[in-house]
Amino acid sequence: MSKTAFVFPGQGSQTVGMMSDMAEAYPSIQESFAEASDALGFDLWKVVQEGPLEELNKTSITQPALLTASVAIWREYCAQGGAAPDFIAGHSLGEYTALTCAGVFTLADAASLVHARGTYMQQAVPEGAGSMAAIIGLDDDKVVELCEEVAEGQVVSAVNFNSPGQVVIAGHAEAVDRAIKGCKAKGARMGMPLPVSVPCHCSLMQDAAGQLADKLNATPMNSPVIPVINNVDVAIVSDVDGIRDALIRQLYGPVRWTETIQKLASEGVTNIIECGPGKVLSGLTKRIDKSIGGTAINTPDSLTAVLNK
Query: What is residue 296's DSSP assignment?
Result: E
**3-class DSSP state for residue 46?**
helix
Q: Confirm if 265 and 168 have CB atoms less than 8 A apart.
A: no
Residue 224: phi, psi to the nearest 5? Answer: -70, 145
E strand or H helix that includes residue 293: strand 293-297
Respond yes or no: is residue 92 known to be catalytic.
yes
Residue 160: phi, psi to the nearest 5? Answer: -130, 115
The alpha helices in 170-218, defined as continuous H runs, are: 173-185, 206-217
64 contact partners, CB below 8 Å, separation of at least 6: 36, 40, 44, 111, 112, 114, 115, 118
46 contact partners, CB below 8 Å, separation of at least 6: none
Q: Confirm if 307 and 82 have CB atoms less than 8 A apart.
A: yes
Respond yes or no: is residue 201 known to be catalytic.
yes
26 contact partners, CB below 8 Å, separation of at least 6: 76, 300
List 13, 91, 201, 302, catalytic entry: 201
Query: What is residue 156's DSSP assignment?
Result: E
Q: Confirm if 274 and 296 have CB atoms less than 8 A apart.
A: yes
Q: Confirm if 74 and 101 have CB atoms less than 8 A apart.
A: yes
List 70, 92, 157, 302, catalytic entry: 92
As a whole number of Å, the end-to-end CA separation of the chain is 16
> What distance in Å separates the CA atoms of residue 222 and residue 148, rounded to the nearest whole number?
39
Residues with active-site annotation: 92, 201
